[in-house]
Structure 1
Amino acid sequence: MESLPNHQEGNQVEKEETLVSHLVELRSRLLWAVVSVLIVFIALCIYPGTKEIYDFLARPMASVLPTGDKMIAYGVVTPFLVPLKVTLLSALVLALPLVLYQAWAFIAPGLYKHEKRLIFPLVVSSYLLFLIGMAFCYFFVFHTVFHFIATVSPDSINFAPDIEAYVDFVMTMFIAFGFTFEVPVIVIVLVSTGIVDIVKLKNARPYVIVGAFVVAAVLTPPDVISQFMMAVPLILLYELGIMAARVLRTRVSSEEEN
């Protein structure tokens, strides 16, 4: 077999070394991300503790239960595992900025300057909007939904939800409302990348309104109040995204002219 020229062999070795160095850095970033979550998880287990974190999560449901009633647990180890699961998920949410920083540090060297200026604010705003969506769900939606369910429950039924089912429901609602509040970021990305323009977004308003209520009907319990509490913010956030995209587009155009 004919051997490769020296310059081709050198290029191949250089590519292999580059790939290996990227894989090593990726492993290091992933390790630091996992360690960050574990550190926050251990800290939360120490203070305020798994019981206190679960009690805080269960407060919206506990407030609508009859005096003296509590939620139930069917499994033997469920009272231990469920609060631990809630604490771990809380640690993941709180440590997410550290995880996102590791992802940013890995991809940032390969980005252009204008891409860095766009991605970093979008990542930060996405995290903040996700937290706002979760807070809106916890402080407003849960109280309304649980009060409605407890009110319409027949007197012949002992309303005592299982803690595993409650946590699954709460996490699903958190994720649904968290992603719902990401609409402004999605709109900005679509406009910034040129996939759609602001005029098309304005013309799509009727479809967005209908789609918002369809999404709310799928993701929320089958009551009108909770559906409105998701659909209305979704529509308002869409409008906010259009306004933010218009401001960003105007700023970019003025910078290009200068």
Structure 2
Amino acid sequence: MTVLKTAARTLGLIAALSALSSIAIADAAKGPLRVGTNAGFAPPIEAAVAVAKAQGLDVKLIEFTDPVTPNTSLANGEIDLNYFQHKPFLDVVKAARGFDLEPVGIGIANKTGLFSKKYKSLDELPVGARVALAGDPFNFGRGLELLEAAGLIKLKPDHGPQVNVDAVIDNPRKLKFLEIDFHQLPQSLNEVDLAHGYTHFLKASGVIDPHAALFWEPINPRYGIVFVAQPKNKDDPRIAQFIKIYQTAPEVRAVLDKQYGDLYVRLWERE
């Protein structure tokens, strides 16, 4: 009887070890967690990758140079996670491309505002002033909403999430709206009268003091940068671990503070 019990226990142990081995092989087959971002958000993500490695989590960082490929690559399964966009931008992309993607974690919100190298206040803006706004459909609308918040224009009350110039119902100073590539807005300040400035780009460009906004956009969590994945991967423990590292690791916080100073908000602390 004892021999039979011992044999049964041995077989049970072998089965358990075999199961654990299968799990380990399956996990190993996943390879590294592939995370996509762009240059503007890369430094703190790089710090998170280093911390993850120290914790035994293998992460491969892929840096993109445009706002289209990170979502295309994620939808195609070429990466597992991306971090570079806010949810309204993601919603526009999903509607246009039919991608099945969703936010799985919250990151930071960069402060934005209205900047000028020619004028010291909005009251000084002349009639017909040229105003540079981001050229993509969503952020152009965000810029129009900012101009309305500053009292420079008025929009239709029911304009919807994607605002364009057709929604402008009052423009007393006859502002001229220029669509500029998102990343070129800092340089546009050398030519235009006013521009929607994203402080992380302004800080990197050195074109103007990023603290010198004539009007600040109110902090809105909807514009927070989100971690995005395919729904089928939202419960991947590697993703949860990496997001936690980004949000809590002192090494990442140090890089965030160095890169953005006091010009960003850690939205997970407000949840």
TM-score higher than 0.5 here?
no
Relative to the length of structure 2, the TM-score reads 0.22
Higher strand fraction: Structure 1 or Structure 2? 2
Structure with the larger RCO, 1 or 2 (CA within 8 Å, 6+ apart): 2
Higher helix fraction: Structure 1 or Structure 2? 1
Relative to the length of structure 1, the TM-score reads 0.23
